[in-house]
């Protein structure tokens, strides 16, 4: 096929219909900014939740009567439990030191002796940092001989399990809604531009152009519009992160993280939006029944 | 070999027959006038041939294609074998004269180097080489008419359909157009020209078919006076 023509035609759409091109690019940029906003929110909310989960650990308090070898055996047993990532031993002395750091008082001086038990700090594997995962380790360790008490922040985990999950689904739902709206918004803008050309499309068909031949320049146009729209959205986000920090005292990037690749993804999604918008819009006019019955 | 063959073709709009069981055959290389009053169905008959319209009954065969039961992906192939001078021109308003004519070649797989040569030749044939960079709306009606003709003949079609190509022209320009069509015909292209300009038909005699009351009749020039 006439590749040169198709390329030229795809680009010259810009020259011929400046207004609708700006409308399409603007729509794509706005849609992408909305999408990016939600994605960033989602990713960061998720990482906050994961951070909270990572911090959850079980404290297994040991009886004072355990010997060194009893302690070692116990540690080996706990490490062997399903869902356990690692086990750190905290001796009585270390517990006292932590107490002093936290409360500013030397427990030995207050009470003349150290009442704090030695303990194991048990961290859970990824995927077991849930109420169910923690509970099974809780039950298993609690039964072990030499273990006096097991504690963990059950309520926090339960809250994360239920509310965080709801929040994530909600955000995902809204995000998908925004994404789909973006596609239709872009399609609609492009459709208006193509609608203006429907007579031209009919004429082209009468002169012997295939659907593909007519479609390719529109898709190219959509691709270029999507690329520009994506670049603008990426630029706006970049500027927001680079320069907003100078005016606001806090570091924006400490709160939310945007990777380098994210800008590439935004531009890529822009191209996709442009092409998808064109495909959806042109289908209407190109498939229009030419042949009257 | 027949380049057009209509058999018992019926077309109706709003339950009104425009063509009623029409038979018409045209040989390769022939020149035929299709006459009839406004509203007689001339454009409808031409649209059947370039498959912009399907008959309600009958068979339409064009350049080896069965137009009445053609698959939509075959339609472009059929249309590329034709040149059509539309009654309402159908120029592409968003590009200049050169690009309008070249478009008929872009849709085929014509090499770039040949496109330029052929377009300039076609524009030369209709005497519009000097206007090749003008936009359609910058041209007079007669000039637009000639651009449409250039586009119709640029791909050397085996059949040229012209729907009242002199409809908007003064007598002198009309004569030029028809002489151009005769020249194209002499080079081997079959020409079917719809017209109600009987004056012109008398001056440049050829086979004549007339549409009247939904029927197609062969007309002898002598009968009409
Ligand atoms: N798309 C259409 N819908 C309804 N009526 C039509 C349509 N096209 C043509 N007609 C009618 O069919 C008749 C023939 O029209 P046409 O083929 O254009 O005649 P001509 O070209 O000889 O002037 C006219 O009465 C016209 O009103
Ligand atoms: Mg007509």
Please report whether residue A293 resides in a domain.
no
Residues A251-264 have a mean pLDDT of 70
* Same domain flag for A143 and A263: no
Tokens of B46: 């031409």
For A214-233, write each residue's pLDDT tens digit.
Answer: 999 989 989 999 999 999 99
* Same domain flag for B151 and B162: no
Q: Which of A258, A270, A196 is nearest to A226 (CA)?
A: A270
Residues B31-40 have a mean pLDDT of 95
∠ CA B127-B130-B133, rounded to 5° = 120
More confident residue, A25 or A11: A25
- Looking at the predicted structure, is the pLDDT value of residue B171 above 90? no
pLDDT at A209: 94
- Looking at the predicted structure, is the pLDDT value of residue A290 above 80? no
- State which of A93, A123, A152 marks the end of a domain: A152
* Same domain flag for B186 and B76: yes
* Same domain flag for A168 and A116: no
* Same domain flag for B110 and B56: no
Domains in chain A, number:
2
More confident residue, B223 or A147: A147
* Same domain flag for A171 and A124: no
- State which of B135, B156, B177 marks the end of a domain: B156
Tokens of B210: 């007339």
pLDDT at A37: 82
For B99-145, write each residue's pLDDT tens digit.
Answer: 999 999 999 988 988 999 999 999 999 999 999 999 999 999 889 99
> Which residues of B have a CB under 8 Å from any CB of A?
50-54, 56, 72-73, 75-77, 79-80, 82, 84, 86, 90-94, 102-110, 112, 151
SS (H, E, C) A249-260: CCCHHHHCCCCH
A280 contacts: CB under 8 Å, gap ≥ 6: A183, A184, A187, A190, A191
Q: Whole-number mean pLDDT of chain B?
A: 93
For A149-199, write each residue's pLDDT tens digit.
Answer: 998 888 888 888 788 778 878 888 888 888 888 888 888 888 887 888 888
* Same domain flag for A171 and A266: yes
* Same domain flag for B124 and B108: yes
* Same domain flag for B17 and B60: yes
- State which of A118, A152, A186 marks the end of a domain: A152
- Looking at the predicted structure, is the pLDDT value of residue B3 above 60? yes
- State which of B98, B133, B156 marks the end of a domain: B156
Ligand 1 centroid distance, CA of B44 (Å): 6
Identity of the residue in A1, A290, A293 whose CB atom sits nearest the CB atom of B109: A1
* Same domain flag for A175 and A264: yes
- State which of A133, A152, A171 marks the end of a domain: A152
* Same domain flag for A269 and A166: yes
- Report residue B145: phi and psi, to 5°: -55, -40
- Is A118:A99 a contact under the CB 8 Å cutoff? no
* Same domain flag for B176 and B74: yes
Please report whether residue A145 resides in a domain.
yes
Domains in chain B, number:
2
* Same domain flag for A43 and A167: yes
Q: Whole-number mean pLDDT of chain A?
A: 83
pLDDT at B124: 95
Contacts of B58 in chain A (CB under 8 A): none
Q: What is the CATH number of the domain that holds B178?
A: 3.40.50.300
Please report whether residue A17 resides in a domain.
yes
pLDDT at B150: 96
* Same domain flag for B74 and B178: yes
* Same domain flag for A146 and A282: no
Q: For strands B215-219 and B16-27, give the pairing.
A: unpaired
* Same domain flag for A109 and A31: no
Indicate the pLDDT class of residue A292, thresholds 50, 70 and 90: very low
- Looking at the predicted structure, is the pLDDT value of residue A26 above 50? yes
- Looking at the predicted structure, is the pLDDT value of residue A55 above 90? no
* Same domain flag for B133 and B162: no
For A81-100, write each residue's pLDDT tens digit.
Answer: 888 888 999 888 888 888 88
Q: What is the CATH number of the domain that holds A86?
A: 3.30.70.3040
* Same domain flag for A281 and A165: yes
- State which of B139, B156, B173 marks the end of a domain: B156
Please report whether residue A255 resides in a domain.
yes
Indicate the pLDDT class of residue A16, thresholds 50, 70 and 90: low
- Domain range for residue B126? 90-156
For B86-98, write each residue's pLDDT tens digit.
Answer: 999 999 998 999 9
Indicate the pLDDT class of residue B224, thresholds 50, 70 and 90: very low
Indicate the pLDDT class of residue A249, thresholds 50, 70 and 90: low
* Same domain flag for B118 and B185: no
Indicate the pLDDT class of residue B225, thresholds 50, 70 and 90: very low
Please report whether residue A261 resides in a domain.
yes
Ligand 1 centroid distance, CA of B139 (Å): 28
Residue nearest to atom 17 of ligand 1 (CA): B41
- Domain range for residue A239? 3-51+161-286
**What DSSP designation does B73 have?**
T
**What ipTM was reported for this prediction?**
0.93
Q: For strands B65-66 and B159-163, give the pairing.
A: unpaired
More confident residue, A261 or A255: A261
Identity of the residue in A5, A200, A292 whose CB atom sits nearest the CB atom of B92: A200
- Looking at the predicted structure, is the pLDDT value of residue B223 above 60? no
Nearest CA in chain A to B155: A207
pLDDT at A293: 42
Identity of the residue in A1, A16, A290 whose CB atom sits nearest the CB atom of B52: A290
pLDDT at B118: 96
What is the C-alpha separation between A256 and B200, in angstroms, rounded? 80
* Same domain flag for B69 and B174: yes
* Same domain flag for B18 and B36: yes
* Same domain flag for A46 and A61: no
* Same domain flag for A87 and A9: no
Please report whether residue A291 resides in a domain.
no
More confident residue, A199 or A12: A199
| Beta carbons of A291 and B53 less than 8 Å apart | yes
Please report whether residue A68 resides in a domain.
yes
Q: What distance lies between CA B213 and its chain's CA centroid?
A: 22
Q: Which of A123, A5, A1 is nearest to A58 (CA)?
A: A123
* Same domain flag for B120 and B174: no
Residues B50-57 have a mean pLDDT of 95
Which atom number of ligand 1 is nearest to the Cα of residue A292?
Answer: 1
- Looking at the predicted structure, is the pLDDT value of residue A68 above 80? yes
Which atom number of ligand 1 is nearest to the Cα of residue B163?
Answer: 21
pLDDT at A248: 63
């Amino acid at each position: 096929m006439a590749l040169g023509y198709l390329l030229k035609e795809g680009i010259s759409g810009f020259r011929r219909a400046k207004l609708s091109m700006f409308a399409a690019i603007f729509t794509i940029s706005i849609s992408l900014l909305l999408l990016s906003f939600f994605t960033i929110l989602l990713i960061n909310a998720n990482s906050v939740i994961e951070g909270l989960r990572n911090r959850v650990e079980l404290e297994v308090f040991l009886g004072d009567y355990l010997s060194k070898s009893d302690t070692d055996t116990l540690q080996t047993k706990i490490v062997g439990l399903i869902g356990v990532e690692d086990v750190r031993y905290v001796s009585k002395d270390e517990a006292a030191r932590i107490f002093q750091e936290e409360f500013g008082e030397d427990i030995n001086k207050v009470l003349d002796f150290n009442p704090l038990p030695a303990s194991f700090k048990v961290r859970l594997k990824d995927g077991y940092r849930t109420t169910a995962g923690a509970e099974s380790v809780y039950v298993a360790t609690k039964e072990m001989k030499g273990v006096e008490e097991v504690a963990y922040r059950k309520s926090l985990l339960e809250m994360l399990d239920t509310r965080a999950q709801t929040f994530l689904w909600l955000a995902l739902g809204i995000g998908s809604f925004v994404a789909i709206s973006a596609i239709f918004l872009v399609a609609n803008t492009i459709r208006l531009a193509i609608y203006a050309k429907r007579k031209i499309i009919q004429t082209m068909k009468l002169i012997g152009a295939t659907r593909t031949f007519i479609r390719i320049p529109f898709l190219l146009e959509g691709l270029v519009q999507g690329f520009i729209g994506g670049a603008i959205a990426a630029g706006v986000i970049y500027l927001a992160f680079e320069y907003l920090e100078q005016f606001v005292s806090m570091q924006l990037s400490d709160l939310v993280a945007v990777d380098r690749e994210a800008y590439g993804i935004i531009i890529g999604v822009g191209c996709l939006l442009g092409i998808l918008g064109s495909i959806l819009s042109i289908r209407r006019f190109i498939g229009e029944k030419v042949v009257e019955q | 070999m027949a380049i057009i063959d209509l058999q018992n073709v019926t077309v109706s709009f709003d339950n009104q027959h425009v063509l009623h069981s029409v038979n018409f055959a045209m040989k390769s290389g022939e020149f035929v006038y299709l006459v009839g009053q406004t509203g007689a169905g001339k454009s409808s008959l031409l649209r059947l041939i370039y498959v912009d319209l399907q008959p309600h009954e009958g068979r339409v065969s064009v350049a080896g294609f069965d137009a009445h039961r053609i698959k939509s992906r075959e339609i472009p192939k059929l249309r590329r074998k034709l040149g059509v001078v539309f009654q309402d021109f159908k120029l592409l308003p968003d590009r200049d004269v050169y690009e309008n004519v070249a478009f008929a070649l872009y849709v085929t797989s014509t090499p770039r180097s040949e496109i330029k040569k052929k377009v300039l030749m076609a524009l030369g044939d209709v005497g519009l080489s000097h206007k090749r960079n003008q936009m359609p709306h910058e041209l007079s009606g007669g000039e637009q008419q000639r651009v449409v003709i250039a586009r119709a003949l640029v791909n050397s079609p085996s059949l040229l359909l012209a729907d009242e190509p002199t409809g908007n022209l003064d007598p002198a320009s009309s004569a030029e157009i028809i002489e151009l069509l005769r020249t194209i015909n002499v080079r081997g292209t079959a020409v079917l020209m719809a017209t109600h300009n009987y004056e012109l038909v008398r001056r440049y005699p050829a086979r004549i078919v007339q549409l009247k009351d939904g029927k197609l009749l062969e007309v002898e020039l002598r009968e009409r006076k």
